[in-house]
Amino acid sequence: LEETTELSIEGMTCASCVGRVERALKAVPGVLEASVNLATERALVRHARGAVEATSLEAAARRVGYEARRTA
Ligand code: 9UX
């Protein structure tokens, strides 16, 4: 079973930012797909249920330079 975690991402201003964040999120072990929307500043990350901690996703985005927080 899969689930989707939504993150808010701050600091993206161009399409290359989007690609950088998507690449970072996809590299987290257990992540199946990640899509980032520049306009809404949201990332949707699909992964096996219970297999990925939201804090790991936040950390991955922060490592490449963007503030990230799981949406409530
Ligand atoms: Mo675009 Mo984003 O020139 O950090 S890559 S602003």
CATH code for position 15: 3.30.70.100
The answer to whether residue 66 is domain-embedded is no
Nearest CA to ligand 1 atom 3: 14
**Is the model's pLDDT at 68 over the cut of 90?**
yes
Nearest CA to ligand 1 atom 1: 14
pLDDT digits (tens, 9 = 90+) for 15-63: 999 999 999 999 999 999 999 999 999 999 999 999 999 999 999 999 9
* Domain assignment of residue 1, given as a range: 1-48
- d(CA 50, CA 4) in angstroms, rounded, equals 10
Q: Is 2 left (phi over 0), alpha (psi -120 to 50) or beta?
A: beta
The answer to whether residue 62 is domain-embedded is no
**Residues whose beta carbon lies within 6 Å of some atom of ligand 1:** 13-14, 16-17
The two structure tokens encoding residue 69: 């927080």
Q: What is the pLDDT of residue 8?
A: 98
